[in-house]
């Protein structure tokens, strides 16, 4: 399945000591843009490594350098076993299970770990950081499994599977990261893939195993990708709502700017502005303007769309603020400070990311819920203002979009379940040393399903509203909504008629929603939507 596209991609992403942008993450993870370490990052990594080398020669134990990990932190490790210690750490922690995680998620995870390595605060060797860049540029993606992270002490199992591949162990997939994931080849041994790409497997030294697995990179990568997608999906939700209000003979008067200024939430104002643009110059709307006084007001699912969509927008903005802060973080334990100390800390705890991941699943479910309610109104002759039952060609013989709404309802029900927060749960681990965890990875996994569900629910609304607008002929819809209808028809999504195999048309519309084409069609008439 396609995903919301980035219109302009850089030729490369330079990884410096400062933070990556969210756009950088999407470009590398989803579109295969190559990466390069900056000269400053190379110098910083090399300088900090010397601190670790000096501590490795110290007679005083230092966590992660000359001791065991977690509940075994008091166990001193002799020098001749320290390389084995790092290898054993990665091997034992690469204990994931379940379905394979998506390629873009794994690439985002590796990129963000590399970004932290480039800060010079982890103490890895330069060749280790360069190996991560080499794997990304070669299209080598470690196979990571669904389960294994508690979102505390980092995304341990997912990051360990990535580190294992850099060591030349485990399994990977090789292919163009910008190609459809369905085109990915069969799993191959990491050693074989690295050899074919001319990449030397890394032999881990003191602290490196710990530095490669101790971060929030997996959950953060999924947060960044979700925010990117939700921004286009929420604009598309405004387009879908405009089509529904128009198709159901609703009023756009309630979207007036002065009304929304009375409640100054920025997202609400933006959504109302989008709805005004989408419905502008609609002959369908003008046809009943004098009848508005008899109806008094539209149902909440039509009238309150800006309030619901707007609140979701504001929540995404807050999540983006958290993501930007996390992108600027250097997370490791222990961490090498700017003045050369090596200190234990708790920055690996995923709570800040987990909380907003859960929050976004809630708003995705609510936007999907109001979309399903708008769709349902089209199908009921008591509420659709003169359209045939279920928008069927021959009601009784034909069922129209009856079951398409069932599909929406099933997805919305699942999304409501996914909206239950993961971050309120905690299961102690590591012999009670890690006695409170964030479950942020779980929050990220369910948010990905929620984002996909929202796209599907919006697609059914767009599909249904387009059919209703056609049924309003000879009245002409607004130029923006007409452009969306024309897009669907041009992609093989047929207009009104007798019942046909509907699933392919739904899937086509889902793709047009996900890749931003529905939004772009409306914007061809409105100009940029907020």
Whose CA is closest to 327, among 114, 42, 47, 162? Answer: 114
**Strand, helix or coil for residue 15:** strand
Burial of 15 (0-12, 13-18, 19+ CB in 10 A): buried
Q: Over the Cα atoms of the chain, what is R_g?
A: 26
Q: What is the three-state SS of 361-379?
A: HHHHHHHHHHHHHHHHHHH
Judging by DSSP bridges, how do beta strands 140-142 and 97-100 pair with one another?
unpaired
In 32-172, where does DSSP find H-type helix? 39-56, 82-93, 103-118, 126-138, 156-166
Q: Which residues lie closer than 8 Å to 217 by C-beta, 6 or more apart?
A: 108, 109, 110, 112, 113, 116, 154, 155, 159
Q: Which residues lie closer than 8 Å to 315 by C-beta, 6 or more apart?
A: 267, 359, 360, 362, 363
220: its two tokens: 């953060």
DSSP state of 263: S
Place of tokens 């708008």: 374
Second CATH level (architecture) for the domain 13-215: Orthogonal Bundle (1.10)
**Residues labelled as active-site residues:** 63
Judging by DSSP bridges, how do beta strands 145-147 and 342-343 pair with one another?
unpaired
Most distant CA atoms of the chain, gap in Å = 88
Strand partners for 434? 429
**Strand, helix or coil for residue 398:** strand
pLDDT of residue 6: 47
pTM, two decimal places:
0.95
| Angstrom distance (rounded) from CA 366 to CA 364 | 5
Q: Is residue 389 within 8 Å of residue 405, measured between CB atoms?
A: no
Q: How far is CA 479 from CA 205, 472, 507, in A?
A: 63, 15, 25
> Helix 305-327 to helix 22-31 angle, to the nearest 10 degrees?
90
pLDDT of residue 1: 43
Can you give the length of the chain in residues?
530
pLDDT of residue 287: 94
Whose CA is closest to 81, among 68, 93, 71? Answer: 68
Low-confidence ranges of the chain (pLDDT < 50): 1-2, 4-6
| Angstrom distance (rounded) from CA 34 to CA 17 | 17
Instruction: List pLDDT tens digits, range 89-105.
Output: 999 999 999 999 999 99
Q: Is residue 241 within 8 Å of residue 302, measured between CB atoms?
A: yes
Q: What is the three-state SS of 123-161?
A: CCCHHHHHHHHHHHHHCEEECCEEECCCCCCCCHHHHHH
pLDDT of residue 70: 64
Just give the CATH number of 225-426+436-526: 1.20.200.10
| Angstrom distance (rounded) from CA 124 to CA 331 | 13
pLDDT of residue 75: 77
Q: Is residue 36 within 8 Å of residue 10, measured between CB atoms?
A: no
In 419-471, where does DSSP find H-type helix? 440-471
Domain ranges for the chain: 13-215, 225-426+436-526
Among positive and negative, which fits the CA dihedral 264, 268, 274, 277?
negative
Q: Which helix (H) or strand (E) holds 14?
A: strand 13-15
């Amino acid at each position: 399945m396609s995903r919301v596209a980035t219109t302009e991609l850089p030729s490369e992403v330079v990884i410096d000591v400062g933070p990556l942008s969210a756009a950088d993450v999407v470009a590398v993870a989803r579109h295969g843009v190559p990466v390069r370490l900056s000269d400053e990052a190379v110098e910083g990594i090399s300088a900090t490594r010397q601190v670790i080398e000096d501590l490795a020669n110290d007679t005083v134990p230092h966590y992660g350098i000359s001791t065991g990990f977690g509940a075994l932190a008091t166990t001193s490790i002799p020098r001749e076993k320290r390389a084995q210690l790092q290898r054993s750490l990665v091997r034992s922690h690469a204990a994931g299970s379940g379905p394979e995680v998506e390629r873009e998620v794994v690439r985002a995870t590796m990129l963000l770990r590399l970004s932290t390595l480039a800060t010079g605060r982890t103490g890895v060797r330069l060749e280790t950081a360069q190996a991560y860049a080499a794997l990304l540029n070669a299209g080598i993606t470690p196979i990571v499994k669904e389960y294994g992270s508690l979102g505390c002490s980092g995304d341990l199992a997912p990051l360990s599977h990535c580190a294992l591949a850099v060591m030349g162990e485990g399994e990977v997939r090789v292919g163009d990261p910008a190609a459809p994931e369905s085109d990915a080849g069969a799993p191959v041994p990491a050693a074989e893939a690295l050899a074919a790409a001319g990449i030397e497997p890394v032999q881990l030294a003191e602290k490196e195993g710990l530095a490669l697995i101790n971060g929030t990179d997996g959950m953060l990568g999924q947060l960044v990708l979700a925010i990117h997608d939700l921004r286009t999906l929420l604009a598309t939700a405004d387009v879908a709502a405009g089509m529904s209000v128009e198709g159901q003979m609703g009023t756009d008067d309630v979207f007036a700017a002065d009304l929304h200024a009375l409640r100054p939430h920025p997202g609400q104002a933006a959504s109302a502005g989008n709805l005004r643009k989408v419905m502008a110059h609609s002959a369908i709307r003008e046809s009943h303007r004098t009848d508005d006084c008899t109806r008094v007001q539209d149902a909440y699912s039509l009238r309150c769309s800006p309030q619901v969509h707007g609140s979701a927008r504001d929540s995404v903005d807050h999540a983006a603020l958290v993501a930007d802060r996390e992108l600027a973080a250097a997370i490791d334990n222990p961490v090498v400070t700017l003045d050369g100390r090596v200190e234990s800390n708790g920055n690996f705890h995923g709570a800040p990311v987990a909380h907003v991941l859960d929050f976004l699943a809630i708003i995705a479910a609510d936007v999907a819920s109001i979309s399903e309610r708008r769709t349902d109104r089209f199908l009921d002759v008591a509420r659709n203002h003169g359209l045939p039952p279920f928008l069927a060609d021959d009601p009784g013989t034909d069922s129209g979009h009856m079951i398409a709404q069932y599909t929406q309802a099933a997805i919305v029900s699942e999304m409501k379940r996914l909206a239950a927060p993961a971050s309120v749960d905690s299961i102690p681990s590591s012999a009670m040393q890690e006695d409170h965890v964030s479950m942020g990875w779980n929050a990220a996994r369910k948010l990905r399903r929620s984002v996909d569900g929202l796209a599907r629910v919006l697609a059914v609304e767009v599909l249904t509203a387009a059919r209703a607008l056609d049924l309003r002929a000879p009245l002409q819809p607004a130029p923006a909504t007409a452009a969306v209808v024309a897009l669907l028809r041009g992609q093989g999504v047929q207009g009104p008629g007798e019942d046909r195999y509907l699933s392919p048309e739904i899937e086509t519309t889902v793709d047009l929603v996900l890749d931003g084409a529905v939004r772009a069609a409306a914007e061809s008439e409105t100009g940029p939507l907020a």
